[in-house]
C-alpha cells in the first residue's frame, strides 16, 4: 500500500546505498593514487614534486646540489663479489724521514711534480698520513665483507711513498673497478667540511683521462652523498661552492689513472672542530662506512 512517499522500497534502497558506497570508495582510492604519483604530492622516497631530494626536516645538508643520487637503503651482503677496489691512503707516516726521495720530480702527463709529500697534521700532531691509512684499513674491512677484492697502494709496509705516478699505476695494473684516494686537508681555521676531487680532462704525455672523467664523476657524486649520510658532515665551505665536488688537473694520481678514480678530503685538519672529528676513532669508522657505501653504490648502480 503506497502512502505517497517517493522513497524506494527497502530492497531498492539497500542496492542504491551499496552502489553509492562503492563509488565513493573507488573515487577515494583514485584520488589517493593520484596524490601519491610522481608530481602529485609527498612520497616515502623523500622526493619533491620537482624530482629533486626533499629537504630533510632534521636539517638539509645541501648535498642535492652535487646531483648525487638518492641514498638507497643498502646493498645485499656479498654484492661486490668479483669486483676490485683500489684504496690509496694519502702520503705515508714515514715520508718525513725520506724528504730527499719524496722530493724528486715525476711526470704526471701535463707537468712534473714531487714524488709525494708529507701531508698535513692537526695542531696536536695527528698526521694526515696516519688518518688516511686508518680510514683506508677500516674501509678495506667493510669492502671485503661485501665480497670485494681490495688493493691498497701502501699499508704501512713501505719506507716512503709510493710516488704519485706509482699510485696510479697500482690501480691500473689491478684493473680496479673503482679507486679512491683518502686524504684530509690542511687549510685555514674556519674552513670546514669534506670535498671530493674529480679528474679533469687531461690529454698530455702519458695522461689521458677522457675515458674516466664521466664514471669518476658518478663515483664522486655517490661518494659525496653517502659520506654526508654516514658522517653528518657538510660539504666544504671553501672548495666546490657548496657542492662538495672539485675538479682538478694537477694531481698525478688522477691524471695517470685509467680506472675511475677520485680523491676525498675528509675534513680540514687545521680547523679545531673538524680536527676533533678526524681524531675520533668512532668518526673515522663512520667515514670508512661512507666511503664504502659510496663505492658500493657506484659498483652496483
Cα 121 → chain centroid: 23
Report how far residue 297's alpha carbon sits from residue 74's, in angstroms, rounded to the nearest whole number.
9
Cell numbers that stand for 96 in this block: 718525513
Q: How many CA atoms lie within 13 A of 168 on its CB side?
A: 26
Number of H helices, E strands in the chain: 8, 10
- Residue in 180, 185, 76 with CA at minimum distance from that of residue 128: 185
- Dihedral (Cα; 119, 134, 287, 267), 10-degree rounding: -20
Give the strand pairing for 149-152 and 203-204: unpaired
Q: Partners of 106 in the beta sheet?
A: 113
Sign of the torsion formed by the C-alpha atoms of 136, 138, 142 and 148: positive
- Dihedral (Cα; 23, 25, 27, 28), 10-degree rounding: 160
Is 265 considered catalytic here? yes
135 SS3 class: helix
Give the strand pairing for 203-204 and 207-208: antiparallel
Sign of the torsion formed by the C-alpha atoms of 187, 188, 194 and 197: negative
Which residue in 146, 221, 265, 293 is the catalytic one? Answer: 265
Report how far residue 275's alpha carbon sits from residue 125's, in angstroms, rounded to the nearest whole number.
11
Report how far residue 295's alpha carbon sits from residue 221's, in angstroms, rounded to the nearest whole number.
10
Cell numbers that stand for 20 in this block: 553509492
Active site residues: 265
Amino acid at each position: 500500500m503506497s502512502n505517497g512517499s517517493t522513497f524506494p522500497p527497502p530492497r531498492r534502497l539497500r542496492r542504491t546505498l551499496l552502489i553509492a558506497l562503492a563509488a565513493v570508495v573507488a573515487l577515494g582510492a583514485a584520488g589517493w593514487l593520484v596524490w601519491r604519483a610522481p608530481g602529485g604530492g609527498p612520497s616515502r622516497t623523500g622526493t619533491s614534486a620537482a624530482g629533486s631530494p626533499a629537504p630533510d626536516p632534521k636539517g638539509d645538508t645541501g648535498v642535492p646540489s652535487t646531483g648525487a643520487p638518492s641514498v638507497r637503503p643498502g646493498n645485499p651482503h656479498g654484492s661486490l663479489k668479483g669486483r676490485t677496489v683500489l684504496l690509496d691512503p694519502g702520503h705515508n707516516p714515514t715520508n718525513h724521514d725520506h724528504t730527499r726521495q719524496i722530493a724528486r720530480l715525476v711526470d704526471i702527463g701535463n707537468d712534473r711534480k714531487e714524488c709525494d709529500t708529507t701531508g698535513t697534521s692537526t695542531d696536536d700532531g695527528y698526521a694526515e698520513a696516519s688518518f688516511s691509512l686508518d680510514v683506508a684499513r677500516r674501509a678495506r674491512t667493510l669492502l671485503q665483507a661485501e665480497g670485494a677484492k681490495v688493493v691498497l697502494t701502501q699499508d704501512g709496509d713501505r719506507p716512503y711513498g709510493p710516488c704519485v705516478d706509482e699510485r696510479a699505476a697500482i690501480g691500473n695494473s689491478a684493473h680496479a673497478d673503482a679507486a679512491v684516494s683518502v686524504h684530509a686537508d690542511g687549510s685555514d681555521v674556519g674552513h670546514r667540511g669534506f670535498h671530493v676531487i674529480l679528474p679533469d680532462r687531461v690529454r698530455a704525455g702519458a695522461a689521458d683521462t677522457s675515458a674516466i672523467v664521466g664514471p669518476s664523476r658518478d663515483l664522486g657524486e655517490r661518494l659525496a652523498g653517502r659520506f654526508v649520510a654516514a658522517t653528518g658532515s657538510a660539504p666544504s665551505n671553501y672548495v666546490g661552492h657548496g657542492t662538495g665536488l672539485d675538479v682538478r688537473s694537477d694531481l698525478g694520481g688522477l691524471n695517470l689513472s685509467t680506472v675511475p678514480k677520485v680523491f676525498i678530503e675528509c675534513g680540514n685538519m687545521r680547523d679545531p672542530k673538524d680536527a676533533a672529528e678526524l681524531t675520533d676513532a668512532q668518526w673515522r669508522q663512520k667515514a670508512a662506512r661512507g666511503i664504502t657505501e659510496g663505492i658500493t653504490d657506484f659498483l652496483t648502480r
